[in-house]
A and B are shown apart, each in its own frame.
Chain A
Amino acid sequence: MAESIILPKLGNTVESAIILAWHVEIGDSITAGDLLCEIETDKATLEVESSATGTLLARLVDVGEEAPVLSDLAVVGEAGEPLDDWRSFQPAQKSPANTLPVPVDSPPPPVVESETRQKISPRARNLAQRKRLDTSDVSGSGPEGRIIERDIEAALKNRPSVSPVAQAMLDSGDYTLGEATPGRVKKADLLPVAESRAVAEIPLRGTRKTIATRMLHSLQSTAQLTMHANADATALKAFRARLKNSPESLGLRGVGINELLLFAAARTLPQFPNINALFENDTIYQHAAVHLAQAVDTERGLLAPVLRDADQLPLRKLAEDAQQLAEACRAGKILPDQLHGGTFTVSNLGSLGIESFTPLLNPPQVALLGLGAMQLKPIEGEGEVAFVPHISLSLTINHQVVDGAPAARFLRALCRNIADIDLLALG
């Protein structure tokens, strides 16, 4: 009796996943618990294990294809066993171990080549052509995964808006969109078709698609204001140097500038519930606990893993956890639930030499801290000017619910805590 391996639901908000690689060939034997394939959700790369033992009879989703959670990924059974049409309708709420009877005397349906091709309705195809939308990365929500009109409409909504002139040029077929440009596409963003062939075309999917949606949403749905300040980094540098040279047994050698700054933020935020807050559905949720998200640069794009109850963590634990989360992100092993629930985000571009920037909010969070590079700042003291290392802080707030003065007060408190980081670590 053949049974299907389904795509497990990998988190409450995960609706679908893309198959990255298959690890078992059709005809190979497989044991329950064996690695079957790797998948990518909009949040993470994950491994799927086989829930059955037997011979892999069919792989129902190709590499690069997107599959809804709880749908059949593969069929495992006895070698030579006939297959029913596993791709079509499945009753809702099937269990992972669900098995369907396969009529013994019915011949297997002929293998139709088109089974693996992208299904798209004529109406959806026409709309995509009219709007010059590449459908290869659009996932279908119609019956049997067919791309239907609403999928194209959704994809179009996520596309940057186009000026009428640019649209006319695009419609002529002689021009195509150049490099990805933020905001409205104008005439200048277009390239003649001949030139555009040199441009790598990278369809949006997975993490990148999610980021694209969220970033635009962030800008479109909040009133963002960024203010800049500098914190005296003398103690920071010194403390970091001491930690680096501390006895190995203390386990503090790995605590870097970044982790110290995270620590400072985590310890400052509890005094500013209006900053450590979420704004949703016309309601402000002020959080007592600090769930600190840190922006992590990965190959697949920006991720923001969350340190839970960061304000309660001692420096060493906070630093270890932060580094593990970042590593998991870079390795694509982060779990979806570890990417959720942050109350405040820190984004550090200082190591790349950026002096200061205007980071985008991560809604529904109401504030986000950008960390710039360390710079020497001339400070007048005791009759002479001294060059004191400072670190630049850029705080973006949602001005809808956070006023300028409270934000400034938070920045000022943070600057003090950074300046006294060694004392803070003792507290």
Chain B
Amino acid sequence: MPKSLTIDPTEARSRNVICAPQIPVNAYQRDPIAEAAHYSREQLLMVYHDMRLIREFETALDSIKKAGAYRGIAYQHSGPAHLSIGQEAAAVGQCLALDACDFILGSHRSHGEILAKGLAAIRQLDAAHLLRTMEGYMDAAALTVVESLDDYTNEHSLARDWLIYSAYAEIFARVTGFNKGMGGSMHTFFPPFGIMPNNAIVGGSADIALGMALYKRINRKPGIVIVNIGDSSVASGPVWEALNFAAMDQYHTLWDAELGGAPPILFNFVNNFYGMGGQPQGETLGHGMLARVALGVNADAMHAERIDGYDPLAVADATRRKKSLLLEGRGPALLDVITYRYSGHSPSDASSYRERDEIELWRAQDSLRSYADYLCQNGHADGAQLAAIDESIVRQIETVIRAAIDPDLSPGLDPAGDAIGAMMFSNQTAEALDDREPEVLLPLDKTRLGVTAAKHRFGFDSDGAPTPRLRTLTYAEAIFEAMLHRFYADPSMIAYGEENRDWGGAFGAYRGLTEAIPYHRLFNSPISEAAIVGTAVGYALAGGRAVPELMYCDFMGRAGDEIFNQMAKWQAMSANALRMPLVLRVSVGMKYGAQHSQDWSSLVAHIPGLKVYFPATPYDAKGMLNRALRGTDPVVFFESQRLYSQPETLFAGGVPVDYYEVPEGEPQIHRAGADISIITIGAALYRALEAAERLQNQHNLSAEVIDARFLNPLNLQPLLESARKTGRALLVSDATERGSFLHSLASNLSQLAFDFLDAPVAVLGARNWITPPAELDEAFFPSAAAIIDTIHQRILPLPGHRPATDQSTREMLRRSRDGI
């Protein structure tokens, strides 16, 4: 779409072939002499130590899970334990090439990776830094326990015990764990060592990792990002979207060259040949070798290689080479690291999908034993030295496990006082998430703000006559003003989605931003809704403010996991170690049929961990977006295509030019009344006001009209007071009725206002149909007539009223019986 990139038909139509680079397979050549020159003996022994430690760490877990004890220490662990016994070389080799500032993300089988990365980071950080980190983390809860275990004279060995203890405590759901037990085995992580969230959704880390790589590139932060995901995940949509999003041409063609190119991300497929029990190679996929998929992504084939993951030095070599090109901006990169797990997928796995002989074949080439042989054969160590390492590791694991299962030293989280509730949101505000000067292309006073600020800010003049529409600020322009403000205040803020740049968003809300904001802060994404949201999750977790956009609410289905499982959960799963300053703008369509006109706000309101806003007027659009963009929590920000051209007609003062915020969670009373409360969400507000006018004129009934504005959090008190006052409440929105959030609201109001109610709280949503063609809008969405009919038939019969629609309880029964 950029005008600077011309599509030349002559070139496009000319005869050609696509040439693809060759993909090396197990190209690394063992060269003990060169390796001895490259690595110190100490480093080579550390590789053994780390692999051995991981092996023992997981063996202990396996024993506890299957036998209820480890070396005589009895313990019942009721949570999951997905083990990677056999895969240690792939994890340790990788970290041999990494610095503390590099990030790794993993899967549900990532104990080995987090230990390897933690051990590597501890070696790289100085004693003071380590102490500071441990003291400052979760009020030094883990440090206090570990320091009681021994008289440590060496901060690094203290930190190693601390790492192992924190991991076990996390797995065993102790409040002293990395994340107070809220992450658990499948999500163990520790950001200060570059160990970022591990994901229990297969492939879930791919787009999140890319978001972190974008954060590093856009904000000029050091290091690379590696996502360790399983071989089966390559077939999942979000992973494929992340591969393509990572390989966009615009990093090179349109972004400032000075930024340094593509986001530094390595897609590291930990290929143990099984996706649970399915076998991608030969059964469930057709690539033959996983690295082949890189051929489809870009001309560099992502610099892909297949690597022997049983050789830690081969993995280290490949990772080092990829890191180097990633830092040069030549990413993304892909490694297909083959390895093998001896343990089952989980303790319940009887390995029915593979022959015992196969496991024995791999055991015979076990990476740990081969590496021990390599050390001995090349004079780096002897058997006794390795046995001493083994012995000290076993003692260390024993000591740490005893502490981790001790209920006095390591209690579980006490949920009393709603300790988990307190983790659901960070509830902080921040003017800026970085202290750099925001990068912009124009001074603020040269932007389109000059045009919008000069417009009428209220839809009626002092005589009550409507102002000229084109010269009156619209809902879309209110969105623009809020976005512009934060772009100029927070250097970390980025916004992207489909058609966001040049076009200004499909509905023009970003008109004027293209001229003001550089490409790397406002860009067009591929049509990859999962990756649009997933990358934003990663960007926010890494510390930046992200504003992704979904062009239609209906496309939320394409980003389901990213919204429901990722955006919503990481703050609490990290026990608030991480924040999620992410505002997902979602546009509710209209007049566009069954797949482009649905209000799905109820779906996200159902998911714990999301804030849900839905402004209905320009004043609220700007004030609520301002609020969202200063917060640190994930907000799904619904807008309605019915409203983009709407001027402010309800807030008498109009839309202020200056910055202001709407207080979070507070409903707005737009019309005071005494006889019935009509509470709306979204664009239904205007139909409720129309109905209120008719009720007054035709039935002498005084209706109070309230816009909830927020679905979550929502202060029920004003709604409750209204319902108590009038004794009658009708809730209206454009969401389809069954399962609508309005029913939660109705239930709560009924319980809280029960003794004051003159009729059950009634709900009026859209019909439980597909959205019909625009010509039939009136039959589908709640109309003013249907609002009055519902009041007449379910709340307060209106003398002389002849209902045009059937809102009776009998009709409710019929619809439910028929499932419509």
Interface, chain A (partner B; CB < 8 A): 84-85, 88-89, 91-93, 106, 109, 121-124, 126, 141-144, 146, 148-150
Contacting pair A122 B797 (CB below 8 A): no
Interface check B467, CB cutoff 8 A: no
Given known pairs A146-B759, A149-B727, the reply for A122 and B754 (CB within 8 Å) is yes
CA distance A299 to B164 in the complex (A): 95
- A208, chain B: closest CB distance, angstroms: 25
In the complex, identify which listed stretch (B552-560, B773-781, B804-812) lies at the interface while the others stay far away: B804-812
Contacting pair B757 A89 (CB below 8 A): no
Contacting pair A85 B813 (CB below 8 A): yes
Neighbouring B residues of A89 by C-beta, 8 Å: 793, 806, 808-811
Contacting pair A92 B809 (CB below 8 A): no
Contacting pair B806 A122 (CB below 8 A): no
CA distance A69 to B811 in the complex (A): 22
Query: Closest residue of chain A to B817, judged by CB?
Result: A106
Contacting pair B795 A126 (CB below 8 A): no
CA distance A323 to B384 in the complex (A): 131
Partner pick for A88 among B755, B759, B802, B810, CB 8 A cutoff: B810
Contacting pair A92 B756 (CB below 8 A): no
Interface check B758, CB cutoff 8 A: yes
Interface check B738, CB cutoff 8 A: no
Interface check B796, CB cutoff 8 A: yes
Contacting pair A143 B802 (CB below 8 A): no
Find the residue from A88, A93, A141 having the highest chain B CB count within 10 A: A88
Contacting pair B809 A144 (CB below 8 A): yes
Which residues in chain B, 767-820, are within 8 Å of chain A measured between CB atoms? 793-797, 802-803, 806, 808-811, 813, 817
Partner pick for B757 among A85, A93, A106, A121, CB 8 A cutoff: A121
A-B contacts, 23 listed (Cβ < 8 Å)? A85-B809, A85-B810, A88-B810, A89-B793, A89-B810, A89-B811, A106-B817, A109-B813, A122-B754, A122-B757, A123-B755, A123-B756, A123-B757, A123-B758, A142-B759, A142-B796, A142-B797, A143-B793, A143-B794, A143-B809, A148-B796, A149-B727, A149-B758
Query: Closest residue of chain B to A87, judged by CB?
Result: B810
CA distance A248 to B727 in the complex (A): 69
Which residues in chain B, 448-479, are within 8 Å of chain A measured between CB atoms? none
**Interface size in chain B (residues, C-beta < 8 A):** 21
Find the residue from A88, A89, A91, A144 having the highest chain B CB count within 10 A: A89
Partner pick for B758 among A92, A93, A106, A142, CB 8 A cutoff: A142
Neighbouring A residues of B810 by C-beta, 8 Å: 84-85, 88-89
Query: Closest residue of chain A to B756, judged by CB?
Result: A123
Interface, chain B (partner A; CB < 8 A): 727, 754-759, 793-797, 802-803, 806, 808-811, 813, 817
Find the residue from B758, B794, B797, B813 having the highest chain A CB count within 10 A: B758
Neighbouring B residues of A91 by C-beta, 8 Å: 806
CA distance A85 to B727 in the complex (A): 27
Contacting pair B756 A122 (CB below 8 A): yes
Neighbouring B residues of A143 by C-beta, 8 Å: 759, 793-795, 797, 809
Contacting pair A124 B758 (CB below 8 A): yes
Query: Closest residue of chain B to A125, judged by CB?
Result: B755
CA distance A91 to B804 in the complex (A): 10
CA distance A177 to B420 in the complex (A): 58
Query: Closest residue of chain B to A146, judged by CB?
Result: B759
Neighbouring A residues of B793 by C-beta, 8 Å: 89, 143
Query: Closest residue of chain A to B802, judged by CB?
Result: A92
CA distance A150 to B755 in the complex (A): 16
Neighbouring A residues of B809 by C-beta, 8 Å: 85, 88-89, 143-144
CA distance A144 to B809 in the complex (A): 9
- B726, chain A: closest CB distance, angstroms: 10
- B725, chain A: closest CB distance, angstroms: 11
Query: Closest residue of chain A to B754, judged by CB?
Result: A122
- B464, chain A: closest CB distance, angstroms: 34
CA distance A91 to B792 in the complex (A): 12
- B351, chain A: closest CB distance, angstroms: 51
Neighbouring B residues of A144 by C-beta, 8 Å: 809
Given known pairs A141-B797, A142-B759, A143-B759, the reply for A123 and B806 (CB within 8 Å) is no
CA distance A148 to B759 in the complex (A): 7
Known: A121-B727, A142-B797, A146-B759. 15 other contacts (CB 8 A): A85-B809, A85-B810, A88-B808, A88-B809, A92-B802, A109-B813, A122-B755, A123-B755, A123-B756, A123-B758, A126-B756, A142-B759, A143-B794, A143-B809, A150-B796
Neighbouring B residues of A150 by C-beta, 8 Å: 796
CA distance A142 to B727 in the complex (A): 13
Given known pairs A85-B810, A88-B808, A143-B809, the reply for A121 and B759 (CB within 8 Å) is yes
CA distance A123 to B727 in the complex (A): 7
Neighbouring A residues of B806 by C-beta, 8 Å: 89, 91
Find the residue from A91, A93, A109 having the highest chain B CB count within 10 A: A91
Query: Closest residue of chain B to A89, judged by CB?
Result: B808
CA distance A141 to B796 in the complex (A): 8
- A121, chain B: closest CB distance, angstroms: 4
Neighbouring A residues of B755 by C-beta, 8 Å: 122-123, 126
- B14, chain A: closest CB distance, angstroms: 68
CA distance A149 to B808 in the complex (A): 20
- A152, chain B: closest CB distance, angstroms: 10
- A353, chain B: closest CB distance, angstroms: 47
- B723, chain A: closest CB distance, angstroms: 10
- A128, chain B: closest CB distance, angstroms: 12
CA distance A149 to B797 in the complex (A): 12
Neighbouring B residues of A121 by C-beta, 8 Å: 727, 757-759
Neighbouring B residues of A149 by C-beta, 8 Å: 727, 758
Neighbouring A residues of B803 by C-beta, 8 Å: 92
CA distance A91 to B806 in the complex (A): 8
CA distance A131 to B396 in the complex (A): 77
Neighbouring B residues of A122 by C-beta, 8 Å: 754-758
- A72, chain B: closest CB distance, angstroms: 12
Nearest 5 pairs of A and B residues by beta carbon: A89-B808, A123-B758, A88-B810, A123-B727, A121-B758
CA distance A151 to B811 in the complex (A): 26
